[in-house]
Every structure is written in C-alpha cells, then in structure tokens.
Amino acid sequence: MKKWAIKKLEKRIESNQETTWYENNLLMLKIRDDGLYKKKYGTFEKYLEDRWGFGRTRGHRLIKAAEFMQIAVKNQAGKVAQNGKMGDKIEAILPKSERQIRPLIEKLNNNGQRLKVWAEVVGTGEKINAELVQTKVDEFLKYSMMKNCFV
C-alpha cells in the first residue's frame, strides 16, 4: 500500500510542478512524515536528491515553507470566519511562492513571529514580493533588538 501511496503523491507533484508550490510541498511533507521514501531511498535527503534533484538545504526549506503555510492558512481562515467577509479570498494574501516567504523561514525563530511579520507585509497593501518581505523581516529584527536593549 505504501508503494502505491508514494507513486500517487509523486504523480500529483509532477503534474503540479509549476503551478502549486504549496500543494507540492505539502505532498513532500506527507511523504516525509509517513516515511514513504524509506524502502527505496533510506533517507529523506537521498529521496529528495535522487527523485527531485533537490539538495538537503532546498528540500528542507520547501518543507519548512509548507509547515508555515499550513499555519498561515489556518490563521487566515479563522480571521475570515471571524469577520464574516466571505468575499475575502485566503489565497489573495498567501505567498505565491516559497521564495516570497524565505526571509521569514530563514531569519525568524518561530511561527508567531512569522505570522506577525506576514500580517505586516499583507497590511501594506503593496504587491507582495521577496524584497518587501525581507524589508519587513529586517524592520522586525531591528525593532526586536532595540526593544531588548531597553529591557
């Protein structure tokens, strides 16, 4: 059954290759968490490299992005439900690529910080891109450092 499961998930990843980075990363997260790679590849890192051509760093960056996206989607769904604005589209304020949220994943220590900075990014009303996210991350870190100096 597991062999069938990994083939099914991989087929979905292949068909989504350029369109849904988030779903692909969630599928890889499932493959990792369920250990579906173990029989053929032994380690998840070997699976990522042999099957998808991803190095360890890239593979784990994609997984961390997927984990953050799960939290961001739940967080945003709760806000839409609370304010009752059914016209709000969750997708409109979620990252369009892993690259956009890379500064959040690499520089901030926890998902609480990441969600806070992401809310600031979305709140600007500007077109979301990696540079805007990097700017907001840098501002957050600078403010946090200044705040800690006065404590």
Question: What are 83-116's pLDDT values in tens digits?
Answer: 555 445 545 567 888 888 999 999 998 889 999 9
For residue 25, the model assigns a pLDDT of 85
For residue 92, the model assigns a pLDDT of 58
Angle (CA) 65-73-13 rounded to 5° is 50
Are 100 and 129 within 8 A, CB to CB? yes
Are 121 and 133 within 8 A, CB to CB? yes
Tokens 């956009």 identify what position?
100
For residue 79, the model assigns a pLDDT of 59
DSSP three-state, residue 36: coil
For residue 111, the model assigns a pLDDT of 87
For residue 26, the model assigns a pLDDT of 86
Say how far residue 102 (Cα) sits from the centre of its chain.
8
pLDDT band for position 22 (50/70/90)? confident
What gap in Å lies between CA 20 and CA 124, rounded to an integer?
Answer: 25
What gap in Å lies between CA 135 and CA 86, rounded to an integer?
Answer: 31
Instruction: Give the number of other Cβ atoms within 10 Å of residue 105's Cβ.
Output: 19
pLDDT band for position 150 (50/70/90)? low
For residue 42, the model assigns a pLDDT of 96
